[in-house]
Amino acid sequence: MATDDGFKRTYPEIDDWTDSRELLANARKQAEERQLDDVFIVDIDSHISDGGNWPEIMDYVEDPVIREAASAFGDGSKRGAFLNGTNGLQWQNVWGRIPHGQGLKEAVEESELSRETILARRCMDQMGLDYQVMFPNAMLFLGMHPVPEMEVHLATAYNRWLVERVLPEDQRIKAMMYLPFNNPVEAEATVKRFLGKPGVAGFLITSSRHKPVHANEYMRLYGMLEESGQVLGFHTHLNWQNEYTSQLNRFISMHAISFVLCNLVHLTNWIINGLPERFPKLKVMWIESGVAWLPFIMQRLDHEYMMRTSEAPLLKKLPSEYMRDMFYTTQPLERTNETLLAASMEAMSAETQMLFASDWPHWDFDLPATIWDLPFLDEKAKRNILGYNAARIFDLEIPEKYRALAAE
């Protein structure tokens, strides 16, 4: 079987260097079997290329001293310069069992295009995606960087690299700009600088950090985002150094809890401190915590709020009602118990509030078929989750071929 660009499968044992067109050949097969090429699909969260682009990104650091210092890392290659990644990330591939879990190492053709764009196109074509929002692994740790100002240097370089180098290469690729949230003034400056740039789909806080989101110093930032109609995303991540998670001796345990814990904390602070009342039009999205945590915290907060309303005086309705006004990405969709999953998605008004995310190429990625094959959703709900909710929230242009269907 050959793809449109002439790639021919050879069915090898899949390893770290396997071409993602080979690795995702079954995704293309799924798309064709289900006619998903006739379905508008937006992938809200992907992490195409990690370390490979870092030396190039370092050239976008604006501080001349830090830019020069990057050359001192990676035997002069700048690879990994200044990053504070934890070893947890290196365990994602289940000790070699899921090769792409360690990042895509495949070869790409000589091209004017960035490696990022080439790999994104391979994924989009195989999965049948119309848009893909990308975000790098390396940045997910930055909120915990021991050198606070480094978050600003690296985030600005990364945002610039995306806006100036990658996003102009393919209109299907979008990005949410990294907010250096540990420095509220710089976070505001990031919004001012990148708002409205082509391909910028919103702004993003990495959730692995110890900063209370309700602190007064962030109110101006939220106001700016609300006024400009931008999406504010919270992208979760692991934290194996936390006092509780450090007791977990297996990656499976830490990942299952850690990827939810940080968003549980931030979402709870967000609601109980009345931020949805203060910024009622701000579009808030919770990314990569899956779905199973949502009914838990809905019930828990509602239960306690009814007894302790005096501690949350800004609220005018139940916490769960505010939760249903916010947005959630679906991945990793916990679907071993279909009854629980159906109840969770119904509780969250999934038809209007949930958005498909692949998280490709991480070890627990989902495919469009993951949503399309859910037996308890009707076709309209599936189409909304796969694409139309994203189009509405991010104001994405829907390609002509889908418009007739969207108007129905």
In the complex, minimum distance from the CB of residue 129 to other proteins, in angstroms, rounded to a whole number: 16
The residue among 34 and 278 lying less far from other proteins, judged by its C-beta, is 34
The answer to whether 211 and 143 have CB atoms below 8 angstroms apart is yes
The residue among 271 and 367 lying less far from other proteins, judged by its C-beta, is 367
The residue among 125 and 188 lying less far from other proteins, judged by its C-beta, is 125
In the complex, minimum distance from the CB of residue 351 to other proteins, in angstroms, rounded to a whole number: 23
Give the Cα separation of 227 and 188 in Å (integer).
Answer: 13
Alpha helix positions (H), 59-213: 64-69, 115-127, 148-161, 184-194
In the complex, minimum distance from the CB of residue 212 to other proteins, in angstroms, rounded to a whole number: 35
Give the Cα separation of 25 and 78 in Å (integer).
Answer: 34
Left if phi > 0, otherwise alpha if psi is -120 to 50, otherwise beta: which for 328? Answer: beta
The residue among 25 and 189 lying less far from other proteins, judged by its C-beta, is 25
> Three-state SS for 135?
coil
The residue among 55 and 99 lying less far from other proteins, judged by its C-beta, is 99
In the complex, minimum distance from the CB of residue 20 to other proteins, in angstroms, rounded to a whole number: 11
Contacting positions for other proteins (CB under 8 A): 11-14, 23, 25-27, 29-30, 94, 96-100, 363-367, 369-370
Residues 6 or more apart whose CB falls under 8 angstroms from that of 390 comprise: 42, 44, 131, 355, 356, 396
In the complex, minimum distance from the CB of residue 366 to other proteins, in angstroms, rounded to a whole number: 8
In the complex, minimum distance from the CB of residue 9 to other proteins, in angstroms, rounded to a whole number: 9
In the complex, minimum distance from the CB of residue 51 to other proteins, in angstroms, rounded to a whole number: 21
> Alpha-carbon dihedral of residues 42, 43, 45, 48, nearest 10 degrees?
-130
Buried-state track 148-178, b at ≥16 Cβ within 10 A, e below 16: eebbbbbbbbbbbbbbebbbebbebbbbbbb
In the complex, minimum distance from the CB of residue 186 to other proteins, in angstroms, rounded to a whole number: 38
The answer to whether 359 and 100 have CB atoms below 8 angstroms apart is no
In the complex, minimum distance from the CB of residue 3 to other proteins, in angstroms, rounded to a whole number: 15
The residue among 194 and 365 lying less far from other proteins, judged by its C-beta, is 365
The residue among 30 and 132 lying less far from other proteins, judged by its C-beta, is 30
The residue among 232 and 369 lying less far from other proteins, judged by its C-beta, is 369
Between the two ends of the chain, the Cα-to-Cα distance in Å is 36
Q: Find, among 383, 385, 399, the residue nearest to 331 by Cα.
A: 385
The residue among 97 and 281 lying less far from other proteins, judged by its C-beta, is 97
Residues 6 or more apart whose CB falls under 8 angstroms from that of 142 comprise: 84, 150, 151, 154, 155, 178, 180, 206
- Strand positions, DSSP E, 179-324: 200-206, 231-235, 283-287
Can you give the C-alpha Rg of the chain in angstroms?
21
The residue among 114 and 358 lying less far from other proteins, judged by its C-beta, is 358
Q: How many residues are recorded in the chain?
A: 408
Cis bond upstream, residue 361 (ω within 30)? yes
In the complex, minimum distance from the CB of residue 369 to other proteins, in angstroms, rounded to a whole number: 7
